Chain A
């Protein structure tokens, strides 16, 4: 099965489960919302009686931000105007890239970890729904399937974590070496190219670990495996046996994700919306793109599932 056909099949299977995607999005929103409410209350308390109230409605004020940000503690300390629009996506990628994400506030990390657990819980049901000929998934079946697979998925996640850890260690070793190797280069473009080469290696390894993990999960669902380790080995064997097509599917979805990113960069709301309608519209646009990202993720899993089913 070619990557393009697999992706078409994956998209078809994803479209069988729009409710499921919205459910995952809603769970994500519900888990994040308490933190958002904390920030909302903090901003409101800080500005409701001040002249800044109107300024913040109409745009942003860096003077206000200097004062407000110094009053923050806990997870909302990370609030920054650099998170506007596409900045939110870039900022997150950047935090992952330099490892700063691990230095985030524990409450923020715990919240994110909670979503990861929910995701792992739902994933069994999601993958069952993505199998060939599977009926339109219902929440009750998804929960039941998810509950059944959760323990083995959790163990697999720990194994995958070990894989990521080694990639992380490699990156921590590699980039200082690149830094030293480029210490006498005086052209930024050259230094950038060296770093891009290093980044390409690290990203390729991350994607490889991720592919192994994905096909291991698919193997758990399709082949009814209960051992995370054996599933992981199955994932390794599958990826090694089909490197081009596995990479092709991943590359295709990477390209689509980049396209989505570029579209969002054009449409993402900035800081200027000042009417209630405009504010609500901005929220809707941002949330829509999160849903789109999620849908793409599920479609990718659907493609991998279709490819696995045909190839194994």
Chain B
């Protein structure tokens, strides 16, 4: 638990979903970001359109930490249904702001907090006529109050309102009026600002606020993908929305209105998988965004693409399972599913982004790897990365980039060769050449998921079958040095123990590690970014006596994968597991590491 201070505190907004609170909360976060102070935003929302509880948490962190802290210093309680829970969650010394149009004296049962009441409903009912405005404007009214209490720059807020409603200018004045209502009330009734508030800094230059799904969709545009197929599923939908939006902006001929892309909303995930396989088999870069249930449904096709050696790019925006699970809550629960998806001996390439910046980069890498290795590639994001706005370095692009189309024979090359065999390892690199339909009569072959020999012919001969699947395994293994390398962050002092983690755990793990280091517990840290595991992963495991594996699932899936795929002995690995569905916070990791170190007597 840490004290709130200037530019270092957490504000949580408790709302009812479907009341327009999301844009108000986003505005608050953006205002702080524009004041030059780094922020971490987490939207914890229900699988519902209207009426259920939803929370938005903004961590203000001048030091630029990237994870949640676990504290709540300021609650804006706008949902009577969750008052009890919100009250209980507030850290001692915290502030609770609520709508006292209907007073709640029992809030005063916590003497260790400060309760502030503003009659938002009454103010809005007096000021606005339309029923919908009265609901919507309550959000802007609390934005005004929060701005006064946290000393936010009103010019920045007003500018954001003008940008937000640039296409509906009539709404600008209405919203500014609501903000003034809440602001003036606070100035009149409370000591503003609070002891913790925001002071302008210059710590966000060169940064953008973007969510991982948007970044991944944009990455697919830059990768040169022209075909996408998908079945709507939370939380992956916004990835295809982003791809569609940018294609609409960038790839529609202004004169003819014709498209240089095709997006198909499939009848289910099975069909989405088949479509991207068909398009990739025919030479168009293609992809599908989905989540765990979609991967389950696509599994048969994933095995087909693996065995028939067809490029396939899948984005799994992981959500809480099993089954339908909690569709709007986050987890890293599909690691093992994706590593070996489909029946028979199958193994795939996995990429693990840790933030939207890496979603952009890895979207491009996934397309290159899928074509280079002619195999399915999974980008394993999650709700936290995919749907929350993260502060990251502005995305950059190298104009010299050319897509790696892999070993694809052109018409001219086919003209020169005597005979083409689809699955023959001509170069000794385990990767055969492939051809596209329509290029040359010599390039024809019969793609099949049934047993085939190295020439592409049907076989039920055990030896001929083994020759192909052994090469497939070698091919997969050779990708270990081509998937993104792990990021290793050594301790300041030599450490005998380490941490391994993955994806969206990164911010919380780094912060916990730094704080433990300040207290004398030294741990090296490696963040895995690709599968199959590279030599660096093997080396890190070999170099440390004990390793804490931090991940967001119940069954220690990453640890399991390390045990299966490296030489690490079982007793070296200690799981640290978070799987409640809320994004990981550093205090959880800190406490778990501290306790584990104490039990194991690690200094």
Query: Is chain B a partner of chain A in the same complex?
Result: no
Q: Which residues of B contact A (CB under 8 A)?
A: none
